[in-house]
Amino acid sequence: MVASTIGAITGIGGWIIIKPLIDAFGILPVSSASFLSGLTVLCMSTVSLIRSRDTGAQIDTRRTTFLGLGAAFGGVAGKLLFQLIKTQFPTEAAVGITQAAVLAALTVLVFVYMICQKRIQTHNIQNRLVCAVTGLILGLLSAFLGIGGGPINLVALYFLFSMDTKTAALNSIYVILLSQIASLLLTIGTGTIPEVSIWHLLFMCLGGGGGGLIGNALVKRMDAKGMNQVFLALLVVIVLICCYNIWRMAL
């Protein structure tokens, strides 16, 4: 619930917190962790969007829908790519190390961008094809890493569409929702649902929905500066968790 609350506040969805933490505790295989994290984020994003009317932000349906559809197709491609590449690794630990290393590197780049954000000129892209292609790339990368969008979605919305903090957070959650629906349908359609405990599934989905409610309530009381501070602190935590996971899985 804590991860989903933070994910709802910042717009990263929570998956990027949940999956590394599950990996850190080593309580579930990589595939099961990705599946449960995805369902949790799906619940969080659904609740957040339903309750987002009073946050002062709006979904830019003209552009973000195409970004989300591109992310959905990219997510399907990334999931298939992950399944293909996973067979080339000797163990699931090797897969986890690769994911953690790439995620840590991307998170550091996002942190640098946020620190230098005021000095970086942004764009205001309107072309729907560019939106779809951007979403495709984001979805492919997110699904392969098992993070469901997160920081890279936000940076894309800041840089390419010149969105403010609250608008970017809400639109990021919208993109995540579309991509997670596509990912879930693919998992069901291909019969690749990993073995998971019904209790893990139930409590994580409840936590995701509850986190969406709490996060949405907090967003209404926070300004852009506060949201950015939460986001930067979170990025540091994610990098530290990834470094720990690399060390633990390499043993």
Task: Please determine, for residue 21, whether its predicted confidence score (pLDDT) is greater than 90.
Answer: no
What percentage of the chain carries pLDDT values higher than 90? 16
Note the pLDDT tens digit of each residue in 46-59. 888 887 776 667 88
Cβ atoms within 10 Å, residue 139: 32
Number of H helices, E strands in the chain: 10, 0
**Average pLDDT along the chain:** 83
Task: Please determine, for residue 143, whether its predicted confidence score (pLDDT) is greater than 90.
Answer: no
SS (H, E, C) 183-211: HHHHHHHHCCCCCCCHHHHHHHHHHHHHH
Burial of 137 (0-12, 13-18, 19+ CB in 10 A): middle
Rounded Cα–Cα distance for residues 247 and 251 (Å): 7
Tell me what pLDDT residue 159 has: 93
Closest Cα partner for 187 from 25, 42, 4? Answer: 42
Task: Please determine, for residue 7, whether its predicted confidence score (pLDDT) is greater than 80.
Answer: no
Residue 152's pLDDT band, with cuts at 50, 70 and 90, is confident
Tell me what pLDDT residue 127 has: 94
Rounded Cα–Cα distance for residues 117 and 151 (Å): 14
Residue written as tokens 């997110």? 142
Q: Give me the amino acid identity at 25.
A: F
Rounded Cα–Cα distance for residues 206 and 193 (Å): 20
Task: Please determine, for residue 123, whether its predicted confidence score (pLDDT) is greater than 80.
Answer: yes
Q: What does the buried/exposed string (b/e) look like for 17-56 if buried means 16 or more CB atoms within 10 Å of the residue's CB?
A: bbbbbbbbeeebbbbbbbbbbbbbbbbbbbbbbebbeebe
- By three-state DSSP, how is residue 90 classified? coil
